[in-house]
Structure 1
Amino acid sequence: MSVSIVLHGVESTGKSVLADRLARHFDTIWVSEYGRTHAETHGVEMDEADLLLIGRTQATMIEAALPKANGFLFSDTDSLMTAAWAEMMIGHVPTELLSHPKADLYLLMEADVRWVPDEVRVYGEDRARARFAAICQTMLETSGVRWASVGGDWDARFAQAVALIEALAPSKTSQGFDLAQENE
């Protein structure tokens, strides 16, 4: 069975690019962010029903991809990230978003790179971005999942992610995934 790794964090921190790059590096597949597709189609104003649909769809996409992955499955977000979006957008987290399966490891993308605007990004102002970053980290801390922070420029993020994954990866003779390492 493949190890599920989710890239978690605010907009414009390189989650999609890093998920693709890691998947190519580890010769596997990755799951894109359904929330972005939803926003491109329906707009960025979302209510609880939109967020629940996004969480369900993302969970279904991840579940469908896991058997096809080659050792690792990288996902640009999951329902925990959608829960962070819910807290930011509607002021509360629907319980259902916390009930979906959790990844084996979350990589929290630090908000230490320049925000790049596009048609679906909404929290580019410094204070809003910092608030959202805090919500993202709190979501990981309160959910009891394994996670580590990844920061710096794009190459540094990639190098840190690869090092974390390789340090935790099962050996060729091992059957498990060693997640005993403390959160970063």
Structure 2
Amino acid sequence: MTLTIVLHGVESTGKSVLAEKLARYFGTVWVPEYGRTHAETHGVDMDEQDLLVIGRTQAAMIDAAKSDARRFLFADTDSLMTAAWAEMMIGHIPPELLTYPKADLYLLMEADVAWVPDSVRIYGDDPVRARFADISRAVLESSGVRWASISGDWNARFAQAVALMERLTPSNASSGFDLAQESE
């Protein structure tokens, strides 16, 4: 059985880099963030239809990658993160974004590292970034999914994630295994 692990959190917290690094470490595949590709192609001024396309495409990409995954499938975001983006960008979450399959575990990347600007990152101002981080956490909490917080510098984030993955097996993925305790 392959476990799906989604990296969740605001922009510029290392989701893409960590997803790729974890996939290499565990000898498996990872799914990049489609929202970035969409923003680079169509711009960052998005409406509800753009966000629905992003959520639908990301879910399809994750599903397609499952056949190539071994033990873990790492994804740099999924429709729950797109839901957080929707709340931030358009002020509400389209219900469709909450209907896609959920991951076995979400790694919430805390916004405790410096924001690095690029052509599609838009929420770098500290109060706005903090609001987005709160929304991202709230989406996980309200969805009832299993998640663990990942924080610290880049090396600490990798070490925390690896330690969680090494303790996570198919038999305890849906059991009472206390992930929050493990990530502190």
Q: TM-score range by the shorter chain?
A: over 0.9
Equivalent position amino acid for 2:118 in 1? D
Deviations 1:92-146 (A, max 9, x none): 0000000000000000000000000000000000000000000000000000000
Instruction: List runs of 5+ in structure 1 lacking aligned partners.
Output: 171-175
Equivalent position amino acid for 1:51 in 2? L
Q: 2:41: which partner in 1?
A: 41
Q: How does 1:139-154 map to 2 (within 5 A)?
A: 139-154=139-154
Q: How does 1:1-184 map to 2 (within 5 A)?
A: 1-170=1-170, 176-179=171-174, 180-182=176-178, 184=180
Q: How far off is 1:177 after superposition?
A: 4.0
Q: How many residues align?
A: 179
Q: 1:173: which partner in 2?
A: none
Q: TM-score, normalised by structure 2?
A: 0.95
Contact 2:56 2:79 in 1 (8 A): yes
Residues of 2 paired with 1:45 and 1:124: CA distance?
Answer: 16
Instruction: List runs of 5+ in structure 2 lacking aligned partners.
Output: none
Q: Secondary structure at the match of 1:148?
A: strand
Q: How far off is 1:183 after superposition?
A: 5.0
Residues of 2 paired with 1:49 and 1:182: CA distance?
Answer: 37
Q: Secondary structure at the match of 1:74?
A: strand
RMSD between aligned alpha carbons?
A: 0.9
User: Identical aligned pairs, as a percentage?
Assistant: 72
Q: Secondary structure at the match of 2:117?
A: coil
Q: Secondary structure at the match of 1:16?
A: helix
Q: How far off is 1:18 after superposition?
A: 0.1
Q: How far off is 1:167 after superposition?
A: 1.1
Contact 1:2 1:67 in 2 (8 A): no
Q: Secondary structure at the match of 1:122?
A: coil
Contact 1:3 1:177 in 2 (8 A): no
